[in-house]
Structure 1
Amino acid sequence: MLSSCKALENLLLWNIFIAGHLRISSPTLRRVGFSVCAGHKELVIEDVPRLERLLLPSRGRGGGTIQFIRAPKLEMLGPLSAGVAVFQGTMPISLTNLMHTVKALALTSGPQLNVVLDILKCFPYLERLYAVLQKNSKMDVKDVSLYGPLDSVECLGTHLKEMVILNYEGREQDVGFAKFFVLNAVVLKKIKFGVPKNNNSDWVAIQLDLLQVENRASQDAQFDFKCGLDDVINYPCIHDLSLTDPFDCLFSE
């Protein structure tokens, strides 16, 4: 059906109940928003040569597989969770099967630094990272010290300029997660933290000290703590062509 739509550029699939897999092919689609209710196991982007954005507002909450067979212009992807397997062609993404075109990526995380870094290794030209820290989860903060300055995460040394970290509460694991990027993202320009509403300037000052911002890898990096910023998804923006970066709208106040 989609292959016969010669002018369709935006597709929003909402509250889909399917079993097995869903395959999408279209010569014209540029933006796809996909929200699944139940039963989804695999999403296959079969042949979508103009696809720029694949937004998955409910995908961070479950597992499954996303396979890209042909999407040579894909620049924005997510939110993804560690439980989602991403394939490029017939092979999972890896250090030998990188996704070179993606520049903006959204993830939901533990915060599990090792898992996130393993994912980032597969996106060497990533410029913007959105990390939604899952509440009531723990991370072994020793993970932070296990990594060298870059440890094969190419985007940290060359391209990553902006980060948004949501659900940042100043817990030990939150600080450890964020601090790694403060100390290792060489070209970083800004980190925006979404924090609880009841925090004041004194709390922010403590966080900046814990994050060791004076030792930041990028002296140009700025840090912005936004009260009330949460992982509430603003769905209408998924198909708003006027937005330069829809993730800025997806995770909004």
Structure 2
Amino acid sequence: MDISTRLVFGSTVIQGLHVHGLAMVVRNVKILALRMEPLSLDVLIELMRCFPCLEKLYIQRWSTREKNLWRRKHRELIKCFDIRLKTIVISTYVGLWSEVNFATFFVLNAKLLELMVFEVNCTDEEFISKEQKKLQLDNRASRGAQFHFTTDRCLRGRLDIDHVRDLDLADPVIRRC
């Protein structure tokens, strides 16, 4: 989704990546792919309120101007907000603190999370070990969650799709990685 995108669901309008007039929720959206510039937890929380049954989230990150600090800001939200995400893929992850804060929100609060994939440039053991500590994977909310760091590119880009029939019906966004 880019800045010029405008989606309308009844009286709910999503302009760019901002929800305006959230008067209804859209429960049939299960998979969402975003290109976020900047990577923003606040924007994503707005979108999760709009799409409460979201199960799979794919994020292409382009910049990290936001700090994504959430522990104090979203303390009350965490008590009552049901995060149903099962799969999260973050492309171009480099381990900046804004990315770590963003990802840690889901690590520590997504109780149904099954898989979180970080697309990275290198899979050096030292880098992965540092990131696992920063992400607090030992304290994850979902005991069965798996976390993968990969150099494979899992997300389809616009240039990867020639025709709609080329897409997998179960998950049109992902390449097998």
Same fold (TM over 0.5): yes
SS of the counterpart of 2:50? Answer: coil
Structure 1: gaps of 5 or more residues:
1-59, 70-80, 87-91
Deviation at 1:229, TM superposition (A): 2.2
SS of the counterpart of 2:28? Answer: coil
The question of whether the paired residues in 2 share the 8 Å contact of 1:93 and 1:99 is answered with no
Q: 2:145 aligns to what?
A: 221
The question of whether the paired residues in 1 share the 8 Å contact of 2:58 and 2:155 is answered with no
Q: Which has the larger radius of gyration?
A: 1
Q: 2:41 aligns to what?
A: 113
Q: Structure 1: how far apart are the matches of 2:124 and 2:15? A: 33
Q: Which runs of 4+ in 1 moved over 6 A?
A: none
Query: Closer, same or farther in 2 for the Cα pair 1:237/1:227, shift >3 Å?
Result: farther
Whether 2:16 is the aligned partner of 1:83: answer yes
1:125-176 per-residue CA deviation (whole Å, 9 max, x = no partner) reads 11111111113x321243453112626543x1xx311111111110111101
Query: Closer, same or farther in 2 for the Cα pair 1:242/1:142, shift >3 Å?
Result: closer
Structure 2: gaps of 5 or more residues:
none
Query: Closer, same or farther in 2 for the Cα pair 1:147/1:242, shift >3 Å?
Result: closer
Q: Pick from 162, 167, 171: which aligns with 1:236?
A: 162
Q: Pick from 97, 100, 107: which aligns with 2:24?
A: 97
- Name the count of aligned residue pairs: 170
SS of the counterpart of 2:93? Answer: coil
RCO comparison, higher one (Cα < 8 Å, 6+): 2
Q: How does 1:130-209 map to 2 (within 5 A)?
A: 130-135=58-63, 137-148=64-75, 150=78, 153-154=81-82, 156=83, 159-196=84-121, 198-209=122-133
The one-letter amino acid of 2:145's match is A
Tell me the TM-score normalized by structure 2: 0.83
SS of the counterpart of 1:247? Answer: coil
Q: Over aligned residue pairs, what C-alpha RMSD do you find?
A: 2.6
Deviation at 1:201, TM superposition (A): 1.6
Q: Structure 1: how far apart are the matches of 2:53 and 2:41? A: 19
Deviation at 1:93, TM superposition (A): 6.1
Q: 2:173 aligns to what?
A: 247
The question of whether the paired residues in 1 share the 8 Å contact of 2:26 and 2:52 is answered with yes
Q: Structure 2: how far apart are the matches of 1:166 and 1:237? A: 23
The question of whether the paired residues in 2 share the 8 Å contact of 1:193 and 1:224 is answered with yes
Q: Structure 2: how far apart are the matches of 1:185 and 1:164? A: 14
SS of the counterpart of 1:224? Answer: strand
SS of the counterpart of 1:61? Answer: coil
How many percent of aligned residue pairs carry the same amino acid?
Answer: 29
Tell me the TM-score normalized by structure 1: 0.60
Q: Structure 2: how far apart are the matches of 1:61 and 1:193? A: 22
Query: Closer, same or farther in 2 for the Cα pair 1:236/1:222, shift >3 Å?
Result: same
The question of whether the paired residues in 2 share the 8 Å contact of 1:182 and 1:213 is answered with yes
